[in-house]
Amino acid sequence: MPLQKVRPGTVHRLRPDISVLADSLEVPGIGHIPVNAFVLLGAEPVVVDTGLGLPDRNFVEALSAVLDPADVRWIWLTHPDRDHTGGIFDLLAAAPKARVVTTFIGAGILSCEHPLPLDRAHLVNPGETLDIGDRTLTGFRPPLFDNPATVGFFDDHSGVCFSSDCFGAPLPTADLAQADDVRDVAVEELRTAQLLWATVDSPWVQTVDVEKYLRTFDSLKDRKPDLVLSTHLPPAAGITGAMLDTLATAPSAPPFVGPDQAALEQMLASFQPDGGGP
C-alpha cells in the first residue's frame, strides 16, 4: 500500500531566524511520521534537509515562502536518505551559490542517485565546525541514527540543536505531526511514540553496550539545548532532559517487528471497495 499524502507545505516561523517546513506521511499501523526541513536565516542562509521526493512535492516552491532560493548559501544534509533529499538537486539548480554540507560517505551515497559535483560539496564530520558569518555550526553524531553519514549540529549562536532522525516519533494525526510544538502531545503518548521510533529507525540500539551508548548523550547534556529540531518530531522546546531520559531506556524497549505477508494482504484487502483482495 502506498504511503498517503497529508497536508504538505506547512510553514512555522519559530524564531526570527528559524523556520520549519513541515510535512508528514501516514504509515499504516504506525502513525503519521513528521518530515521536517528547516531554514536557518544566518548571514549565510542554511537549509537543513530538503524534504520528500514524491511527485506532488515541490520543495523549492515551499522554500520560497521563507526566502528566495537563490539566496541559499548552504544545504546541510543531515544524511542522504530519501526523506531528506527530495528537493536537493532542484535546490542546487535554483541556488547557484549553495554548497552541500555532508560527509565523504554522504556525498558518495547521494551520488548513487545523481552525481554531486565535488566543488559544490563541503565536508563536515562530527566535532568539526562551519562558519556561516554571524554564527558557527558544530557538527555532532546524535545518539540515534539510521545512516552512517548522519551529522546533526548545534547552532552556537542560538543554542538550538538540529538532531536529524534522533528523537523522532510517529504521531496519531497529521495535525499533531505537523504541529509547531511537540508539547501538544501528551507526555506518556510522546514517550511511547519515541521508543517505537527508536526501535523502528535504529534497531541496533538493542544490541549495544549500554554504558557506551549513554556516553553519546554527553554533548547534549553539556550544551543543554532548550530547543531541539528533529526531522521526525514537531519542535521540542524545554523538554530535552525528558527526551534523553526516554532514549536512555531504548536498549530495553520491546523490539519492533513489522507486518508479515499475511498482514499486508489483509491491509490491501481492507482497501478494496468490495472487501476483496488485490
DSSP string, 35-100: EEEEEE-SSS-EEE------TT--HHHHHTTTS-GGG--EEE-S---TTT-TTHHHHHHH-TT-EE
Three-state SS sequence of 176-244: HHCCCCHHHCCHHHHHHHHHHHHHHHCHHHHHCCHHHHHHCCHHHHHHCCCEEEECCCCCEECCHHHHH
Query: Measuring CA to CA, which residue among 47, 119, 122, 121 is closest to residue 86?
Result: 47
Give the DSSP H/E element, type plus range, for residue 174.
helix 174-177
Q: Which domain holds residue 39?
A: 4-270
Residue with cell 506547512: 10
Whole-angstrom Cα distance, residue 15 to residue 7?
23
**Is position 60 within any domain?**
yes
Domain count of the chain?
1
Q: Per-residue pLDDT tens for 221-276?
A: 999 999 999 999 999 999 999 999 999 999 999 999 998 999 889 888 887 665 44
**pLDDT (tens digit per residue) in 165-194:** 999 999 999 999 999 999 999 999 999 999
**1 pLDDT tier (thresholds 50, 70, 90):** very low
Q: Mean pLDDT in the chain?
A: 93
Q: Which residues contact 203 (CB under 8 A, 6 or more apart)?
A: 255, 256
pTM of the model: 0.93
Is residue 153 one of the residues assigned to a domain? yes
Kindly state whether residue 172 falls inside one of the protein's structural domains: yes
Using alpha carbons, list the distances in angstroms from residue 67 to 36, 63, 179, 185, 202: 17, 6, 21, 30, 34
CATH classification at residue 128: 3.60.15.10
Q: 107 phi and psi, to 5 degrees?
A: -65, -40
Domain for residue 110, yes or no?
yes
pLDDT tens-digit map of 98-133: 999 999 999 999 999 899 999 999 999 999 999 999
Q: Is residue 278 part of a domain?
A: no
Distances (CA, A) of 248 to 78, 150, 207, 228: 22, 20, 14, 17
Q: pLDDT tens digit string along 134-145?
A: 999 999 999 999
Residue found by looking up cell 520491546 in the block: 254
- Amino acid sitting at position 127: G
* C-alpha–C-alpha distance, residues 205 and 227, integer Å: 24
Residue 275: inside a domain, yes or no? no
> Which three three-digit cell numbers place residue 170?
510517529
Q: Please, which pLDDT band fits residue 18 given cuts at 50, 70 and 90?
A: very high
Phi/psi for 202 (5° steps) reads -135, 65
Interatomic CA distance for residues 175 and 149, integer angstroms: 31
Q: What is the pLDDT of residue 113?
A: 86
Write the pLDDT tens digit of every residue in 35-75. 999 999 999 999 999 999 899 999 999 999 999 999 999 99
